[in-house]
Amino acid sequence: AYRVGDVVDADISTRSSLTIDLLMADQPLFGLAKTVHLPRLPERFSLSFEEGLHSIPYVDGQFLQQLLVTFVYSKSGGGRIHSVTSKAIQSTGSNRRFDPKKKIEVVFDWIEEENVDIEAGATVMFLAAFVVSILFLLQLCVTQEEDDEGNNNNN
């Protein structure tokens, strides 16, 4: 359960099974857009959040220019992260050598999920069940009348 502005735990995992905790200043803040600059890694890496509950696919760190990380969340019910997606933007140009001095820009963006109206959903489900029940009873009545007419004609 998060409140707006709370720090969301984030780790970097590499293909060589190295896990690095992000500095507090580089971690995303719940519900707030934020841009950080991380050191460029010479290998593929992934970001995971909430102690590995949510993670993004591995991206190539050598030529990565920008990483857009989008969180889908809800503030109601204690504030929860529902999903995390990412989009990697690779550097372009002829000079694509690995430069450890360059940084990767990571943009954390947040999209609030709409609140669900449970009462309206329950009302629709009740009405649908009611209509189906009425149709079922009408079908039984029609079938019963046909059987009664068939028995009367045979006598």
3 sits in which H/E element: none
Residues 34, 86 share a domain: yes
pLDDT at 131: 94
Task: Give the integer Cα–Cα distance in Å for 42 and 60.
Answer: 8
Claim to verify: residue 66 and residue 18 sit in the same structural domain: yes
Same domain, 124 and 108: no
145 lies in which domain range?
Answer: 117-155
Q: What is the reported pLDDT for 8?
A: 94
94 and 132 together in one domain? no
Whether 24 maps to a domain, the answer reads yes
Averaged pLDDT, groups of 10, the chain, 155 residues long = 90 81 89 92 90 91 90 83 93 69 92 78 89 92 80 66
Q: Are residues 144 and 107 part of one domain?
A: no
Query: Are residues 70 and 123 both part of a single domain?
Result: no
Looking at the structure, do residues 108 and 129 belong to the same domain, yes or no? no
Same domain for 26 and 80, yes or no, is yes
For residues 22 and 81, state if they share a domain: yes
pLDDT at 9: 92
**Is 21 a domain residue?**
yes
Structurally, the chain folds into a number of domains equal to 2
Residue 75 sits in the same domain as residue 46: yes
**Does residue 36 fall inside a structural domain?**
yes
pTM over 0.75: no
Per the CB < 8 A criterion, the answer to whether 103 and 38 are in contact is yes
Cβ(104)–Cβ(40) under 8 Å?
Answer: yes
DSSP 38: E
**Residue at 4 is within a domain:** no
Q: Is 50 exposed, middle or buried (0-12, 13-18, 19+ CB in 10 A)?
A: middle
User: 108 with 122, same domain?
Assistant: no
* CA angle (61, 16, 62) in 5-degree steps: 15
